[in-house]
Amino acid sequence: MRHPVPVDRGHAGLDLSTGAAAKRPTAVFEIRRDGKSLRRSPVVEADQLLNFEVNITGINQLELTTAPSEDGSNSDWGLWLEPQLAR
């Protein structure tokens, strides 16, 4: 799943959390810009919360992507939580 996010050039940072919701989900989260990875998570399981802080100076558009882990996509619900752009 891809979520494009337009970014005003005045922003310098992105802070957010990710998590996986369901009985036994696993997911991988990635923040990309211009087709290149800025940050990629390890496999996140249902009881984990992972925080991201990313420098986005000079970026026009981000992509927040969620992918299944090696165990497949059955019952995986990846969550991007409370994204906040900082100046």
* Residue 23 within any structural domain of the chain: yes
* Residue 26 within any structural domain of the chain: yes
Q: What count of other Cβ atoms lies within 10 Å of the Cβ of residue 54?
A: 14
Q: How many domains does the chain have?
A: 1
For 22-54, write each residue's pLDDT tens digit: 666 788 899 998 788 999 999 888 778 889 898
Domain that holds residue 34: 2-64+80-86
Is 1 strand, coil or helix? Answer: coil
61-68 and 26-33: which strand pairing?
Answer: antiparallel
| pLDDT of 72 strictly over 70 | no
Q: How many CA atoms lie within 13 A of 7 on its CB side?
A: 28
* Residue 10 within any structural domain of the chain: yes
Is 0.85 topped by the overall pTM? no
Q: Which residue has the higher pLDDT, 5 or 61?
A: 61
